[in-house]
């Protein structure tokens, strides 16, 4: 089974591909909100548009619980399932809690942003009118920045290519590992961890020390 890092690499390859496609619609520029320039300026305006609040729970950044931070959320997720482009129209501010709690759909992808918004609204006890008002605000932003209108053929191409790219990276990681291990001419050694008895440190505290044998 591919390692977690291999799956991350595959997912990042898909994101890089979708960012390159988005650059085509952005005059050849890659949208980068962290470096000084137009990308950072656009992101700052996006934060202002939403009042520096999470688009889902509507909590302002300065009221986030300890450990929660503001993140960039892709409305149409930039993965092999939804194939959302890394485009300003597709990026909105969301607290890390709401961003990470987006449930999975049956096919393994994430729920749509509208479904996620509804779920969070219901969880927070917001009425339908409040949830709908927030949905309209997000949709107005999305449509106002001219997210590319892709044809069925273009969307199919993105999905097919993204899935092939994802699987190709996983396959290359797996074959590369097997190829490396074959050079040793034997199976990889199974490492065993043995917990040593507690020993006193210089500070007088007891610690457990792990040894690989």
> Cβ(13)–Cβ(165) under 8 Å?
yes
Assess if residue 191 is contained within a domain: no
In degrees and rounded to multiples of 5, residue 21 shows phi and psi of -65, -40
Q: Is residue 194 part of a domain?
A: no
Residues 82-109: tens digit of each pLDDT: 999 999 999 999 999 999 988 776 666 7
Instruction: Record the tokens describing residue 195, joined without a space.
Output: 């917990």
Parent domain of 104: 4-165
pLDDT of 203 above 60: no
What global pTM score does this model have?
A: 0.81
Which two three-digit tokens encode residue 119? 């779920």
| Cα-based angle 87, 90, 93 (whole degrees, multiple of 5) | 115
- Segment 71-85 mean pLDDT: 94
In a domain, 200, yes or no: no
- Backbone φ, ψ for residue 210 (5° rounding): -100, 140
% pLDDT > 90, the chain = 73
Asked whether residue 160 is domain-assigned, the answer is yes
Residue 56 lies in a domain: yes
Position 195 in a domain: no
What pLDDT score was predicted for residue 1? 77
Residues 38-53 have pLDDT tens digits of 999 999 999 999 999 9
CB 84 within 8 A of CB 18: yes
Structural domain count, the chain:
1
Q: pLDDT of 144-191, one tens digit each? A: 999 999 999 999 999 999 999 999 999 999 999 888 888 866 555 666
Residue 199 located in a structural domain: no
């Amino acid at each position: 089974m591919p390692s977690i890092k291999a799956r991350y690499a595959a997912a990042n390859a898909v994101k890089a591909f979708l960012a390159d496609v988005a650059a085509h619609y952005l005059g050849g520029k890659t949208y980068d909100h962290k470096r000084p320039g137009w990308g950072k300026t656009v992101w700052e305006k996006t934060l202002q548009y939403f009042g520096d609040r999470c688009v889902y729970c509507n909590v302002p950044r300065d009221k986030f619980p300890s450990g929660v931070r503001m993140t960039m959320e892709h409305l149409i997720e930039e993965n092999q399932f939804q194939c959302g482009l890394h485009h300003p129209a597709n990026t909105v501010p969301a607290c890390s809690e709401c961003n990470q709690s987006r449930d999975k759909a049956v096919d393994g992808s994430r729920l749509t942003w509208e479904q996620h918004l509804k779920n969070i609204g219901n969880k927070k006890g917001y009425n339908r009118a409040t949830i709908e008002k927030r949905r309209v605000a997000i949709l107005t932003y999305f449509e106002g920045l001219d997210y590319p209108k892709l044809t069925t053929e273009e969307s199919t191409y993105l999905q097919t290519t993204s899935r092939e790219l994802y699987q190709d990276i996983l396959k290359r990681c797996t074959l590369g590992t097997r190829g490396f291990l074959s050079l040793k001419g034997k199976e990889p050694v199974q490492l065993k961890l043995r917990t040593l008895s507690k020993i006193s440190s210089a500070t007088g505290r007891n610690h457990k020390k792990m040894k690989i044998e």
